[in-house]
Amino acid sequence: MKLCMIGTGYVGLVSGVCFSDLGNEVICVDNDNKKVENLKKGIIPIYEPGLEELVLKNYKNNRLNFSTNLKESVAKSDIVFICVGTPTKKNGNGADLTQIFNVAKEIRSSINKFKIIITKSTVPVTTGDEIEKIISQKKSKKFFAVVSNPEFLREGEAIRDFIYPDRVVIGTKDKKANKILKNLYSPLISKGAKYISTSRRAAELIKYAANAFLATKITFINEIANLCEKIDVDVEDISIGMGLDKRIGSRFLRAGPAYGGSCFPKDTKAITTTADKFKTNLSVIKSVIKSNENRSLLLLKRVSDLLKGKIRNKKICFLGVTFKANTDDMRDSSSLSMIPSLSKKGAKINYYDPTGEKNEFKKIKNVVFSKNIKSAIKNSDLIIIHTEWNDFKSINFNKEVSNKRFILFDMRNIYSSTKMKDQKIRYFGVGR
């Protein structure tokens, strides 16, 4: 099939590349000319394991192409995926759908035969209705079908998630579109993916509801971790005990920093805004948002307590600054609030992240990027494991840290408390 992916961000690029690897002809469209030219050269704008290889392979085999010409690309395609950003509005209320609606207006002038228009971006309920209204202003509904097909890709594991999804959700009542899309996804269905055919509004809500629930699990275990610290209980034992209950499951029950990234922060806010619009109070999710916002403040207090309130001139090292491992995504990472706050209090901060130096910290006083783990931790008073990269799981701290009175604050609990104590390391985890 001939597919057009509008937007070469995380969702559009990964989905487009994976669809091409399944044998489809895919054009990925973006209005950033430099980005498009780089992609043609195999220069990938995001860090995602395995993505570069797939781009090069399918571009070489002419199944994958990149373009800035949206109208031409849409005209050539049978199915058009809208994969542009839906960030939180500047006022913090709901999703900004400006890019979605602008794309819809461009698409309608390029419809030359029946086309399936799919929102792959995460959009609030009724967005598909609005897209349909925009396109039908100039095109008869017999020439198109607007479908919701939310993505469930995890950064760092996106390719695997695409190839082996739990489910494929298709939101449409158009029988023709449904048949075509079931055929498109047949290679994944044959591998065990559940094909869910539902209404467009239901599909839109499924994505928000799923993300809100996962955000709730993270926030819940973080709050339990707070209690564990008060009563001398290890939260890891609680997570295991809870996770073995099949009704609950173990995933997303790892205590640590506040949740961040491209999805959970904006999607929890968006679903509560939608609920408010329809005069429904999602009090649980609103509480989750508030608790998560307080999480970084609580961790900062923990840092202050570990240093007995003496932060000025202390050498603090952050190992990892992205919101999670195996991605270069800094969006809503706890480090974005923690590092500037500690800098303002006079701390001297080194940080190392496998994805390199971050623009977000370049102008902050006394914040330095180290090119390797050894140089980052060498002279530290306090080492904070912020992100659970594999690179950080087997460090010989006693050998590499010159200050023998250093403190290790493991915000991801990747080390054993017992083993650290045996090594006479002043070790502190989360919920321990």
Residues marked as catalytic: 263
Given a contact cutoff of 8 angstroms between Cβ atoms, the answer to whether 185 and 195 are in contact is yes
Find all residues with CB under 8 Å of 260, minimum gap 6, and list them: 323, 324, 331, 332, 333, 334
Six token digits for residue 54:
């797939």
Dist. CA 91–CA 104, nearest whole Å: 24
Token digits of residue 408: 């290790």
Considering only CA atoms, which of 35, 432, 239 is closest in space to residue 43?
Answer: 35
Q: Taking a C-beta distance cutoff of 8 angstroms, is the pair 207, 182 a contact?
A: no
Q: Which helix (H) or strand (E) holds 162?
A: helix 158-163
Please give the order of strands across the beta sheet that includes 25-29: 64-67, 25-29, 2-6, 79-82, 115-119, 144-148, 167-171, 194-198
Rounded to whole angstroms, what are the CA distances from 219 to 30, 92, 184, 257, 334?
36, 20, 37, 9, 14
List phi, psi (to 5°) of 168.
-115, 120
Q: Which residues of 96-118 are buried (b: 16+ CB within 10 A; e: fewer)?
A: bbebbbebbeebbebbeeebbbb
Distance of alpha carbon 308 from alpha carbon 421, whole angstroms:
20
Q: How much is the CA Rg of the chain, to the nearest whole Å?
A: 24
148, 173 contact by CB (below 8 A): no
Burial of 20 (0-12, 13-18, 19+ CB in 10 A): buried
Asked if 131 and 146 touch (Cβ cutoff 8 Å), the reply is yes
366 sits in the region (left: phi over 0; alpha: psi -120 to 50; else beta) called: left
Is residue 252 within 8 A of residue 239, CB to CB? The reply is: no
Residue 143: which of 121, 174, 183, 103 has the closest Cα?
174
What's 382's DSSP letter? E
Q: Running DSSP on this structure, what letter comes out for residue 87?
A: P
